[in-house]
Amino acid sequence: MRTLVLLARMVKIEHSVFALPFAYAGSFLAARGWPGWRVLLLVTLAMVAVRSFAMAFNRIADLKFDRENPRTQGRPLVTGEISLPAAWAFTLAAAALFVLACACLNSLCLALSPVALGLCALYSLTKRFTWACHFVLGLTLGLAPVAGWIAYEPVFRLPAVCLLLAVTFWVAGFDVLYATQDIAFDREHGLHSIPAHFDLAPALALSAFCHVNTSLFLAMAGWAADLGWPYFLVWAATTAVLAYEHAIVRPDDLTRVNTAFFTLNGFISPALLLGVLLGL
């Protein structure tokens, strides 16, 4: 049980709140209502598994840097509470579970499962050669609504694509905010990020630009899916939360980065799922 708790801590299992509601939203939109327990359970299993794979692989790939970064020196893989072989075993088990869940859904999900795993692993490496790494991370989570959609209906539709773009920009925007904490460390160790490359003020401006795009694509998704006014009410509230997020994080005050990163963003995906359900 202690090992399971440590593994859950290693992959920050609670952060599944960012992607899972969007996957559910994709399934409900594709079905225009209730997609069935089978689809929802398999989508849940697949999403938790692929996210666990991505986080575990990231921890393994970044172990050298995590040992040197004061902010990450308490992670279980760094402290030795979890061994490297155990972390690899967990990573491979999560990948296998993801592929199995995709196989139980349909042939398109199974065919695309290696692509999803490859993209999740790629993010951990992009920080070594490009400041656009935030958008790769955004795309990995942006696939959630598309995955939820094709889990029910194995075709690509405009509402799912709009949600993919909305989530991609949303995640990229808040990941830029999170990366402001590591500007000095990233520069010293040759790691790439928008804050380290462009400096603090331009990075915050680019983060705000990402979230403007998030708002626009969320509105387009509601229009493309022909959702009712409750969805657009939630969309307006989401836009206000994103605006507030950028009001409390300024170049001269980064003390509330974690509030903006997790507390505020943690409300957005569940709220938008509720908006989709009410809008349908």
Tens digit of each residue's pLDDT (9 = 90 or more) over 148-167: 999 999 999 999 999 999 99
Amino acid at 65: F
Amino acid type, 28: F
User: By three-state DSSP, how is residue 74 classified?
Assistant: coil
Tokens representing residue 42 in the block = 């398999």
**63, 79 contact by CB (below 8 A):** no
pLDDT at 261: 66
- In this prediction, residue 18 carries a pLDDT of 76
> What does the pLDDT read at residue 28?
98
Residue 164: what pLDDT? 97
- In this prediction, residue 265 carries a pLDDT of 81
Of the candidates 259, 270, 139, 271, the one whose C-alpha atom is nearest the C-alpha of residue 210 is 139
The residue extents of the domains of the chain are: 2-279
Q: What averages of pLDDT result for each successive group of 10 residues across the chain (280 residues)?
A: 78 76 97 97 95 93 92 88 92 97 97 96 92 96 96 97 97 92 91 95 95 98 98 97 89 76 82 97
Is the whole model's pTM more than 0.75, yes or no? yes
Are 258 and 245 in contact, with CB atoms under 8 Å apart?
Answer: no
CA count, 13 A, side-chain hemisphere, 50 = 29
- CATH code of the region 2-279: 1.10.357.140
